[in-house]
Structure 1
Amino acid sequence: MLQELMLNLKVISILTLVNSFLLVYYIIPKISWVIISRNLNDTPDSRSSHSISTPTMAGFSFYITLIMVMFFIQYFDTENIGLNLIASSTLIFMVGVKDDLVMSSPRAKLIMESLATMFLFFNSAMEVTTLHGFLGIYEIPEIIAYIGSVLIAITIINAYNLIDGIDGLAATVALVIFSIFGLMFFVLHQYFYFLLSISLIGMLLAYLVYNFSSKKKIFMGDTGSLLIGFCIAFLTLKFIAIDVSNYNFFSFKPENGLIFVVAILCIPIFDLFRVIGVRLLNGNSPFFPDRNHSHHILIDNGMSHFKVSMLLGFINYAIVIIIIWLSSIFNSVVMIFILMMVFGLFLVVFDVLGKRIKKKKIK
């Protein structure tokens, strides 16, 4: 009876969403109490958009909930990828905890992120064998697929980590991403990945209750942003590994699968490359901290944290819808050009907004 209940997709979907929400909602106050009592609050600096010390490391609740969810959705894990995900997530979680407590070097973080990603490749379900004609490329060598997958994962993890700078933004963008992936995996009948997306949505909704609170505020910290970023990377690699050409209900051409992935991740990816470009043009290291992120620029132009989060989340959804529509019409070469135009518009808008801030400071 119980096993039949756990195999009912509708029932387990609801339970996964509700339980993930309730677990995070229950655990976060306990984390806040420990952080405050041990004086481990996040102290604002010159780059911070906050003025008071605030508890952090809400990612603890994400990790605990993720492990619990893996147990309850194991019946849908037909590819036996759950154990790989737990092992990889544990490595990422360890890096995040260390970074929140004593700071990790960029090199150490990259090494651990690469190792965590490679753990996933011990399962054949994550193998990427073809690009479905992207730029005329079909079959790719195994070593190239592994290296490319690691680079994609590292880029996604760190791009997501960098947008966690104001209340609600990281969680809102992740909600957009997981909702789209959840829909895609549901349509693909990949129910384990659909349920994982549902669980992450529940976690982030509970986190937002506290993150937007004025009295019980907490940050996810690197413990959370690295873990959520890794989960995004995991779902991205899985989507790329699926042979979408077998599913004729997709409106976009199979060769545009990578384009579609970039569209889903557009806000963190666009912001990452824009910030790196600005830092290099200013003669600084790509790892040099500053206030040139898109959310900092919008905040400095007078928008609230909530409005910035909602605006960038809406832009992310809008770009996905536009790219899906265009990907059903044009080939990958044209779609790359379109993506470059969208990115160019992104650059121009934030360059104008950045110059407006500088003019205000001069006055």
Structure 2
Amino acid sequence: MCDLFGVFCISFILTVIKIPIIIDYCDWFELYDDLEFHRKCHGLGTSRLGGVAIFSAFMLSMLLLLNIQNDEVVALLISTGVVFFIGLKDDILGGVLPVEKVQVQFLAAVVLVFIGDYKITSMYGLFGIYELSELSAAVLSIGTVVFVVNAFNFIDGVDGLAGTIGFIVNISFGILFLKLGNTTMALVSFGITGAIAGFLRYNFVSGTVFMGDGGSMLIGLISISSALRFLTLNGQNVLDADIADLSPAIALAILIVPVFDGIRVILLRLSRGKSPFAGDKNHIHHKLKFLGFSDVSIVLILACFNVWILILAFSLSFLNITELIGVLFCVCIIFNIWITYKKRKKKLIPM
């Protein structure tokens, strides 16, 4: 417990110290988040390099406290570095094509799966499927990593949203790893939550700094790495037999906000003949913004929804895996239908 508290504090303090320096640096060189301003929900002239503080604080805390000779740790640190730097390149220079980001994310996913052994090896009976072949496990795991990394990037459109959801996701996995007795992954989770907490001090209300693609993709990769490791660990070391077979549903519940929004937006874009990575204003946070909610309200609504879904998943542990995941998605669909209905209703009201 002391190590977990220590890694949280180290990451938090380092991030809090570094962000003002980064803001001054961005002011000097005018490195602002003014690209694609038409689909942003914030003002002009704000630093987008908050991810630099998150990444450096996280990496330093990991190097101090983790065994870097462990393949699991090495794979995670390499993949986070690869994803962060392609995001940072876009944050500083711009012009990085979506296909280039996906290629780098694919490379990071390959490192995770084949070096760190972060993979989905079983479907736990979902749709009647149990053990997966090596090829199926690798393909599914790599695809899942790439999707979740982009899903976190998608929700980074409102002050505090990606950071708050990232905090909830990783503190949840940290607690689960603590219960499963995996100190290494618990340190990873608490390390990134400390860095995120330090970042949110400057970003949550009327953000003075944004995490940028580097930060959001970094958090997404660590989050999905934790989810994949949780599936493996819970299958090997069951503390509660009632929820052992529901591990994928628990992981989904923790990641529900970026996952559901990502699936919904990608399907919507494909149905309109657009690239799944084409920017637009169809995300859930954009809909809530249109309804008149402030940034703080949007963050609180989606954060509470995330926590409520997680509580719901544990409360419905008597269901089988297929039924539980079906219920979780039905709740999300109803939530989305309600928001869409309110949005359309507002459009019909004369201004």
Which of residues 140, 144, 159 is equivalent to 1:152? 144
**Within the alignment, does 1:135 sit opposite 2:127 as a pair?**
yes
Which of residues 209, 224, 236 is equivalent to 2:215? 224
Distance 1:132 1:20, change over 3 A: same
CA deviation after TM superposition for structure 1 residue 319, in Å: 0.4
Unaligned runs of 5+ in 1: 1-9
TM-score (norm 2): 0.93
Residue identity in the other structure for 1:263: A
**Within the alignment, does 1:358 sit opposite 2:350 as a pair?**
no
Which of residues 20, 25, 47 is equivalent to 1:55? 47
* Alignment-derived partner of residue 91 in structure 1: 82
* Alignment-derived partner of residue 4 in structure 1: none
CA deviation after TM superposition for structure 1 residue 78, in Å: 8.8
Which of residues 303, 307, 313 is equivalent to 2:293? 303
**Within the alignment, does 1:330 sit opposite 2:322 as a pair?**
no
Provide the C-alpha distance between the structure 1 equivalents of 2:180 and 2:73, rounded to a whole number of angstroms.
Answer: 18
Residue identity in the other structure for 1:286: P
Provide the C-alpha distance between the structure 2 equivalents of 1:63 and 1:49, rounded to a whole number of angstroms.
Answer: 24
Which of residues 289, 296, 299 is equivalent to 2:279? 289
Preserved CA contact (<8 Å) 2:90 2:96:
yes
Preserved CA contact (<8 Å) 2:270 2:276:
yes
CA RMSD across the alignment = 2.0
* Alignment-derived partner of residue 170 in structure 2: 178
Secondary structure in structure 1 of the residue aligned to 2:243: coil
* Alignment-derived partner of residue 153 in structure 2: 161
Residue identity in the other structure for 1:190: N
Residue identity in the other structure for 1:267: V
Which digits, 9 at most, give the CA deviation of each residue in 1:208-234, with x for residues without a partner? 1111355x7000000111111111111
**Within the alignment, does 1:195 sit opposite 2:183 as a pair?**
no
Provide the C-alpha distance between the structure 2 equivalents of 1:322 and 1:78, rounded to a whole number of angstroms.
Answer: 39
Distance 1:188 1:353, change over 3 A: same
Deviates more, 1:244-253 or 1:15-24: 244-253
**Within the alignment, does 1:260 sit opposite 2:250 as a pair?**
yes
Distance 1:120 1:276, change over 3 A: closer
Provide the C-alpha distance between the structure 1 equivalents of 2:20 and 2:140, rounded to a whole number of angstroms.
Answer: 40
CA deviation after TM superposition for structure 1 residue 291, in Å: 1.5
Residue identity in the other structure for 2:105: E
CA deviation after TM superposition for structure 1 residue 347, in Å: 2.6
Residue identity in the other structure for 1:110: V
* Alignment-derived partner of residue 41 in structure 1: 32
**Within the alignment, does 1:204 sit opposite 2:196 as a pair?**
yes
Deviates more, 1:258-267 or 1:122-131: 122-131
Distance 1:344 1:213, change over 3 A: closer
* Alignment-derived partner of residue 5 in structure 1: none
Secondary structure in structure 1 of the residue aligned to 2:293: coil
Which digits, 9 at most, give the CA deviation of each residue in 1:117-143, with x for residues without a partner? 111234464244333333332221101
Preserved CA contact (<8 Å) 1:125 1:241:
no
Preserved CA contact (<8 Å) 1:253 1:331:
no
Distance 1:127 1:223, change over 3 A: closer
Unaligned runs of 5+ in 2: none
Secondary structure in structure 2 of the residue aligned to 1:91: helix
Residue identity in the other structure for 1:177: V
* Alignment-derived partner of residue 11 in structure 2: 20
* Alignment-derived partner of residue 266 in structure 2: 276
Provide the C-alpha distance between the structure 2 equivalents of 1:108 and 1:282, rounded to a whole number of angstroms.
Answer: 23
* Alignment-derived partner of residue 7 in structure 1: none
Between the two proteins, what is the percent identity of the paired residues?
Answer: 30
Residue identity in the other structure for 2:72: I
Distance 1:234 1:124, change over 3 A: closer
**Within the alignment, does 1:249 sit opposite 2:240 as a pair?**
yes
Which of residues 231, 235, 249 is equivalent to 1:240? 231
**Within the alignment, does 1:314 sit opposite 2:304 as a pair?**
yes
Provide the C-alpha distance between the structure 2 equivalents of 1:262 and 1:249, rounded to a whole number of angstroms.
Answer: 18
Provide the C-alpha distance between the structure 2 equivalents of 1:309 and 1:356, rounded to a whole number of angstroms.
Answer: 23
In the TM superposition, structure 1's runs of 4+ consecutive aligned residues that sit over 4 Å from their partners are none
CA deviation after TM superposition for structure 1 residue 281, in Å: 4.3
CA deviation after TM superposition for structure 1 residue 266, in Å: 0.8
How many aligned residue pairs are there? 349
Preserved CA contact (<8 Å) 2:119 2:141:
no
Provide the C-alpha distance between the structure 2 equivalents of 1:284 and 1:299, rounded to a whole number of angstroms.
Answer: 23
Provide the C-alpha distance between the structure 1 equivalents of 2:121 and 2:38, rounded to a whole number of angstroms.
Answer: 46
